[in-house]
Amino acid sequence: MIRSQFLASAGLAGALAVPGGTALVERRANFDEAGFERIVNKPADIRQLYENLGFRPSVLNNMKNSLNGLIYGYGYDPERVALVAANHGPSSAYTFSNDIWRKYRIGDFLDVKDAAGATPTSNIYLTRKSRPATDASPDDLAGPLQDTSIEALQSRGVVMLTCHTAVEEQAANLVKKGFAPSGMGAREVAADILTHLIPGAVVVPSMVATIAVLQHRYAYTFATVQS
Higher pLDDT, 19 or 15: 19
- Other CB atoms within a 10 A radius of the CB of residue 164 amount to 28
195/4 Cα distance (integer angstroms): 10
In angstroms, the CA 71 to CA 178 distance is: 45
Overall fold of domain 3-9+30-224: Hypothetical Protein Ychn; Chain: A, (3.40.1260)
pLDDT of residue 27: 93
Query: Is residue 14 pLDDT above 60, yes or no?
Result: no
The pLDDT value given to residue 7: 38
Please report the pLDDT score of residue 36 as a whole number: 96
pLDDT of residue 11: 34
Average pLDDT score over residue span 195-222: 97
In this prediction, residue 227 carries a pLDDT of: 56
- Whether the pLDDT of residue 5 is over 80: the answer is no
At 170-202, the pLDDT tens digits run 999 999 999 999 999 999 999 999 999 999 999
- Is 45 in contact with 81 (CB distance < 8 Å)? yes
Give percent above pLDDT 70 in the chain: 92
Write the DSSP assignment of 26-66 as a string of letters: --GGGS-HHHHHHHHTSS-SEEEEEEE-S--THHHHHHHHH
Evaluate if residue 1 carries a pLDDT over 80. no
CB neighbourhood size of 140 (10 A): 13
Q: Give the count of beta carbons closer than 10 Å to the beta carbon of residue 13.
A: 10
pTM: 0.89
Listed by start position, the domains of the chain span: 3-9+30-224
Tell me if 208 sits within 8 A of 132, measured CB to CB. no
pLDDT at 226 (0 to 100): 65
